Amino acid sequence: MALSNVVETPASGFNFENVSRNVALEGLLEGGHTKAPKPMKTGTTIAGVVCKDGVVLGADTRATSGEVVADKMCAKIHYISPNMYCCGAGTAADTEKTTDLLSSNLTIFSMNSGRNPRVVMAVNILQDMLFRYRGQIGASLILGGVDCTGNHLYTVGPYGSIDNVPYLAMGSGDLAALGILEDRFKPNMELEEAKQLVRDAIHSGIMSDLGSGNNIDICVITKQGVDYIRPYQESEYKDKRQRRYKYRPGTTSILTEKIVPLELEVVQETVQRMDTA
Amino acid sequence: PTLYSANWMQFITTTIMAVEYDGGVVIGADSRTTTGAYIANRVTDKLTPIHDRIFCCRSGSAADTQAIADVVTYQLGFHSIELDEAPLVQTAANLFKASCYRYREELMAGIIVAGWDKRRGGQVYTVPVGGMLVRQPVSVGGSGSTYIYGYMDSNYKPNMTKDQCLRLVSGALSLAMERDGSSGGVVRLAAISETGVDRQVILGNQLPKWSTA
């Protein structure tokens, strides 16, 4: 287990088995005139800012499937633990599952060790997993949280690279959002100012990027707790439905009714004692 | 090396450098990480501690080098605890080489390992893409290194002092950052010796200026 230049080959280490599997799968699909399925992406703007009292995360709420908006009220800020939330950009299923897995693992860890999970731990777990899958999991995540060591904001890329910076934007609208952040970010901002900054950053992403849109969600994490404001601001381009699409009970008239009681008789009864000694 | 589109892959296209002096080493790097033409992080720290007196300078794929550095940090830490002694820089360099060579087809990592140990003092080892290992008194790496080979060859002299080395490294890095589009941001320096590690950051407007600017 010690040095890698010991005589026998260690079983642990980098495992690239999935790489050959993926190549084989792609070859199989393309060769047989079937196209590999197009994943649903959250063309997205997500942003995060570290302020004096905590961390503010923001996201838009549009999920696209090709050129169609698949979900107008998609939740992109995922719960990880009571003190950590994670924004996800990229393939919607990947971000959802990855953050779910992380959340479950951290809950188990909390119960086992009796400790609250730290943001660095979550980031390391994410990095491990995404690196192992060699970029095949298309998840760009912004993880923010407050723990006993302070307020933290990290980004994890789909290939497993980490960056730890005070302000971030990811997703297809990241360039627009980052412009706002670069202009107005100051270290140790007040909470209200930080919320406004994140809101403005997401707003510029929504305005300048076709893949982002609809409402803005904000999540404020402080030592005292979490304020998940969904939506923080609704889109001014909402339309009202012209009609109700629910049918009231009685729309379909009942012509006849026949009730057949099921006759059940006990055929066999076995009792198995549980050994509670 | 990889067969998939590297559109989302973050690269530390960079300029990194390490110089030995009598009593330690001086290492330096720029601070830019790119995803295609977009600068994903303009304040990256590419000088990663592996042990108390051993650092590595990372270039290539951000994810690959972070993962390799994590693995080697673990292996070296374990080795040091077993031995109950500070590890040698040569050991750290060999651990990097082992990972980089074995997985050379899948990885894209150019690493410079530098540090101080009791046996041989300050040492610089370079492990470029492909997994070669060689010790050099001065080493440069990354995409911006090509622009400063001439500067290095003409300005490096053996037995320089720590301050001369710091000036050499910061000068060379500013020249490379000036010419190489993939290097930029701030200059991060670290001087490692028996007494400890002394880190500094030189911001953009404080960099040495050259006549053709």
Substitution target from B32, B34, B35, B76 for chain A, most A beta carbons within 10 A: B35
Cβ under 8 Å to A: B residues 3-62: 3-4, 8-10, 33, 35, 38, 40-41, 43-44, 61-62
Instruction: Give pLDDT, residue B186.
Output: 95
Q: Binning pLDDT at 50, 70 and 90, where does residue B212 land? A: low
In this predicted structure, what is the pLDDT of residue B8? 57
Between CA A105 and CA A109, with CA A106 as vertex, the angle to 5 degrees is: 90
From CA B18, how far away is CA B27, in angstroms rounded? 4
Confidence of residue A7 (pLDDT cuts 50, 70, 90): low
pLDDT range class, residue A25, cuts 50, 70, 90: confident
Q: Is residue A39 predicted with pLDDT exceeding 60?
A: no
Q: Which pLDDT score, from 0 to 100, does residue A6 have?
A: 46
Average pLDDT over residues A123-132: 94
Q: Which contacts of A260-268 are long-range, i.e. CB under 8 A and separated by 24 or more positions?
A: none
Name the closest residue on chain B to residue A140, using Cα atoms: B8
- Please report which confidence band the pLDDT of residue A247 belongs to, taking 50, 70 and 90 as the band edges: confident
CA A141 to chain CA centroid, nearest Å? 7
Among B63, B66, B79, beta carbon nearest to A2: B79
Q: Give the active site residue among A44, A45, A64, A91.
A: A44
**SS3 of residue B24 by DSSP:** strand
Marked catalytic residue, from B13, B14, B33, B34: B14
Question: Where do we find the tokens 């777990």?
Answer: A125
CATH class as words, domain A45-233: alpha beta
Best residue in A161, A172, A178 to probe B by mutation, most B CBs within 10 Å? A161
Q: Which residue in chain A is spatially nearest to B77 when comparing CA positions?
A: A2
Digit-coded pLDDT (tens) for B160-193: 999 999 999 999 999 999 999 888 999 999 999 9
CA distance A163 to chain B (A): 7
Nearest-angstrom CA–CA distance, A151 and A147: 7
C-beta of residue B57 within 8 angstroms of C-beta of residue B27: yes
Boundaries of every domain in chain A: 45-233
Q: What pLDDT, on the 0 to 100 scale, is given for residue B19?
A: 96
Chain B environment of A163 (Cβ under 8 Å): 33, 40-41, 44
B5 pLDDT band, cuts 50/70/90, is very low
> What share of chain B in percent tops pLDDT 70?
93
* Confidence tier at B155 by pLDDT (50, 70, 90): very high
How far is it, in rounded angstroms, from Cα B93 to Cα B113?
A: 6
Burial of A160-194, coded b for 16+ CB within 10 Å and e otherwise, reads bbbbbebbbbbbbbbebbbebbeeebeeebeeeeb
CA torsion sign for B146, B49, B26, B87 is negative
**Cβ-proximal residues to B138 (8 Å cutoff; 6+ apart), any chain:** B17, B18, B19, B20, B124, B152, B156
Task: Count other Cβ atoms within 10 Å, centred on residue A277.
Answer: 3
Q: Which amino acid is at A274?
A: M
pLDDT, tens digit (0-9, with 9 covering 90-100), for B104-129: 999 999 999 999 999 999 999 999 99
CB A121 within 8 A of CB A83: no
pLDDT for res A1: 46
On the question of pLDDT at A42 being above 60, the answer is no
Phi, psi of B155 (to 5 degrees): -100, -15
Asked if the Cβ–Cβ distance from B41 to A163 is below 8 Å, we say yes
Chain A residues within an 8 Å CB radius of B62? 157, 159, 161
Q: Taking CB atoms and an 8 Å cutoff, what residues of chain A touch B2?
A: 134-135
- CB of B153 closer than 8 Å to CB of B63: no
| C-alpha dihedral, B128 to B131 to B137 to B140, nearest 10° | 0
pLDDT, greater one: A153 or A41: A153
Least confident of A21-25, A164-168, B12-16, B133-137: A21-25
Say whether A99 is catalytic.
Answer: no
What is residue A192's predicted lDDT score, i.e. its pLDDT? Answer: 94
Distance of alpha carbon A237 from alpha carbon A223, whole angstroms: 36
Cβ contact, residue pair A13, B71, below 8 Å: yes
Contact flag B75-A2 (C-beta cutoff 8 Å)? yes
The residues, any chain, with a CB within 8 Å of residue B204's CB and separated by 6 or more, are B185, B186
With a pLDDT cut of 70, the percent of chain A lying above it is 90
